[in-house]
Amino acid sequence: MRKYVLMGVQGSGKGTQAAMLAHDLDITQISVGEIFRWHVQNHTKLGAQVRRVMAAGELVGDDLVETVVHTRIEEHDWNFGFVIDGFPRNRRQAEFFLESYDLDAVVHLDLPDDEVRRRVLARRLCSVCGVDYNLMAHRPAVEGRCDVCGGALVTREDDTEEALTARLRDYHDKTDPVLDLFRRKEFVVTVDARPEPTEVQGTIRAELGLPPYGQTGETQGTRRIARRASTDASAPV
């Protein structure tokens, strides 16, 4: 049983890295942002509650986030473990997590703010299947159309200058202290998130003492994931 947390600022590739880790190790990926995006896209009651907050780049309230995470983990579809990305994002969420689950490791993806801006503002998402693109690193074959399903590519509602500024501020004010808390209690590894995704994944594996990337699990799927740009959006959970 493996339990990992992947932390990193927007655009650091935490969704992509979590998906690669999950696929290859046959563990379950839990992406909190992705769960919220699914609810917004499907116009659920929860989606209506979080849409505006997300679009402004702000954090959803702790009670709601904790309920969503708790409910998701309680599904117990993670016989071999899980990797969670996008949670915790502040001290209270970290404490909630530390009280309930023993973690194997926390992976911190480190990316300078100027690179975050460059990546996030070039990010696009398929409105149909959710695959993510980056107009610098992973352009679609046909402009504006998804390579996988042909769906229209859209900008995430929260990938604007204003929302990004709010998210970076929140990250440094609220999420950086979580790393300090984790460092006192958990095994934290910090990895440079600037190289291309497979290289970052290789470093994560080495730091965690795992077999090299691609030597376990279902390679067809991992190849597709490896092609994806280093952005946060990930396959739906």
Residues known to be catalytic: 14, 89, 123, 156, 167
36 is a site residue for ligand AMP (CB under 6 A): yes
- Decide: 181 and 108 in contact? Cβ < 8 Å: no
d(CA 201, CA 193): 9
86 is a site residue for ligand AMP (CB under 6 A): yes
232 is a site residue for ligand AMP (CB under 6 A): yes
Cα 214–Cα 217–Cα 223 angle in degrees, nearest 5: 50
Determine the size of the site formed for ligand AMP (CB under 6 A).
19
98 is a site residue for ligand AMP (CB under 6 A): no
The C-alpha torsion from 71 through 33 and 169 to 177, rounded to 10°, is 40
Strands (E), the chain: 2-8, 28-31, 81-85, 105-110, 123-126, 132-134, 153-154, 188-192
29 is a site residue for ligand AMP (CB under 6 A): no
Q: 109 - beta bridge partners?
A: 8, 191
Secondary structure (3-state) at 50: helix
| Tokens of residue 232, six digits | 């946060």
10 is a site residue for ligand AMP (CB under 6 A): yes
- Decide: 34 and 133 in contact? Cβ < 8 Å: no
The CB-of-165 to ligand AMP minimum distance in angstroms stands at 12
82 is a site residue for ligand AMP (CB under 6 A): no
237 is a site residue for ligand AMP (CB under 6 A): no
Q: Select from 119, 123, 167, 228 the one that contacts ligand AMP (CB under 6 A).
A: 167
Closest-by-Cβ residue to ligand AMP is 33
CA atoms within 13 A of residue 37's CA, in its CB half-sphere: 26
77 exposure class (CB count in 10 Å sphere: 0-12, 13-18, 19+):
exposed
For ligand AMP, which stretch binds (CB under 6 A), given 40-48, 86-94, 125-133, 183-191? 86-94
CB atoms within 10 A of CB 215: 10
Q: Which of residues 43-72 bind ligand AMP (CB under 6 A)?
A: 53-54, 57-60, 65
The CB-of-10 to ligand AMP minimum distance in angstroms stands at 5
For ligand AMP, which stretch binds (CB under 6 A), given 18-26, 82-90, 195-203, 212-220? 82-90
158 is a site residue for ligand AMP (CB under 6 A): yes
| Tokens of residue 62, six digits | 């702790």
The CB-of-235 to ligand AMP minimum distance in angstroms stands at 13
| Tokens of residue 218, six digits | 């279902």
Binding-site ranges for ligand AMP (CB under 6 A): 10, 32-33, 36, 53-54, 57-60, 65, 86-89, 93, 158, 167, 232
